[in-house]
Structure 1
Amino acid sequence: MSQASRRILVINPNSSASCTAGIAASLARFAAPTLPRIEVLSLPGGPPAIITWRHWYAAAEPLCRMIETQDAAAYIIACVSDPGLEAARTATQRPVFGVLRSAIAAAVARAERFGIIGFTDQSKARQLRALQSMGLEARLTQSLPLNLDMETLTDPIAPRARIRELAKELAAGGAQAIILGCAGMAGHRAAAEDAAGVAVIEPCQAAAVQALLAVG
């Protein structure tokens, strides 16, 4: 079996080193001799965070080029607005997973209604587009944004109280599962779940499960 067929490549489309490190830490639990290796890389030249539609569209071509030059058994785009997903799927015959759609699939597999702790207010339109493409917009209770910068979000302490607060609010509003709406929140899943009392889904982990199943 080739090295490429034993690798799942996770691409963080922003340039935040702390975000990339957090993604890698959240996926470390999937390391095992019998499983494909999961490697996390950041996209060269990416913005500090995917905030605007301009960031979202600008990621598509660099993602395609990276996929074309980095052979792997499967690819994961590790941003919870799935930038460049459709374009990336034209750059390879291998599976390409968006973490937002993976998290939504995980949420509806275990709950009728779910909520999202969003990155910023500007994330909502991109989340809605993904939900509409899946025919699942009616299953979302609400999306509540943190409106924090990426480096604050990835801090192990600074955003935690606010994340817990929003998790409680979503659960009180009827969410039976909660999606963390940015890969930068990866280190806060357990705290959010403890606060909400319902399942909290970390999107990169959800995508990793789907990718591992896809490559066998």
Structure 2
Amino acid sequence: MSTSGRILVINPNSSVSCTAGIAAALERFGALGRFEVVRLAEGPPAIASWRDWHSVTEPLCRLVEREEAAAYVIACVSDPGLEAVRATTRRPVLGMFRSAVAAAMTRAERFGVIGFVAASEARQRLALRGMGVEDRLAGWVPLDLPMEVLTDPEAPRTRIREAARALAATGAGAIVLGCTGLAGHLAAAEDAAGLPVIEPCAAAGAMALLATAPQ
């Protein structure tokens, strides 16, 4: 793949299983996909705290400075370092949370979010305020499970179904999966909620392809 034509998808945590899940979620684009998925080896095991969120900003910027790409996707659903990375390159830089929220708002007036841990809520609400759409958030429910549990094919399913049903009860018309570790659980959440569920890897992938399409 030509480095100038690729879309570099950067997982800012160091989890191998999470990175594999992101890559699997992007496989749906098939021949259209020009994605290269990498992880930040020096990153934390997951972006759980504000300290984690801030700690990856400079490593993300350095990676983007080293790696030429047509576009970059920050593959964490708290969008860490987004503004700083955008200041580092003239290429498009997409955050998965903002991409997923934009997709959710094409499906419903109000949406809910299944969050990673309780501490993620403040970061995601900050992003919603920046987008001017916090009033469209119907509910936010954390799973509070470790990353390696989230990426297991079965272990988090009961908790995911409970969260999806709780958000449906708030009046949400769509649900955003608020962590890339949930990429393999789209169908379980959709079946439980009976609502459209937005998977952020796919949402950001589609927007990155659009951003790099020939004019």
Select which of 181, 185, 197 maps to 1:200: 197
- Distance in 1 of aligned mates of 2:28 and 2:193: 23
CA contact (8 A) 2:26 2:33 kept: no
CA contact (8 A) 1:7 1:38 kept: yes
Q: Is residue 106 of structure 1 aligned with residue 73 of structure 2?
A: no
Partner of 1:16: 15
- Distance in 2 of aligned mates of 1:4 and 1:73: 8
SS at structure 1 position matched to 2:177: strand
Deviation, 1:110, is 1.4
Identity %: 65
- Distance in 2 of aligned mates of 1:50 and 1:99: 13
Q: Is residue 209 of structure 1 aligned with residue 188 of structure 2?
A: no
Count of residue pairs the alignment pairs up: 213
Deviation, 1:31, is 2.4
Deviation, 1:91, is 1.1
Structure 1 residues 174-193: aligned runs within 5 Å? 174-193=171-190
Q: Is residue 56 of structure 1 aligned with residue 53 of structure 2?
A: yes
Question: Normalised by the size of structure 1, how large is the TM-score?
Answer: 0.97
Q: Pairwise CA RMSD of aligned residues?
A: 1.0
- Distance in 2 of aligned mates of 1:96 and 1:39: 14
Deviation, 1:4, is 2.3
Q: Residue by residue, what CA displacement relative to the aligned partner does 1:151-177 show, whole Å, maximum 9, x if unpaired?
A: 001100000111011101101210100
CA contact (8 A) 2:27 2:33 kept: no
4+ runs deviating over 3 angstroms: none
Q: Is residue 7 of structure 1 aligned with residue 42 of structure 2?
A: no
Amino acid at match of 2:71: A
CA contact (8 A) 1:15 1:45 kept: yes
Partner of 1:75: 72
Q: Residue by residue, what CA displacement relative to the aligned partner does 1:67-115 show, whole Å, maximum 9, x if unpaired?
A: 0111110000000100000000011110000000000100111110000
SS at structure 1 position matched to 2:8: strand
- Distance in 2 of aligned mates of 1:160 and 1:62: 33
- Distance in 1 of aligned mates of 2:58 and 2:176: 27
- Distance in 1 of aligned mates of 2:130 and 2:41: 29
Structure 1 residues 41-190: aligned runs within 5 Å? 41-190=38-187
- Distance in 2 of aligned mates of 1:152 and 1:49: 12
- Distance in 2 of aligned mates of 1:91 and 1:28: 28
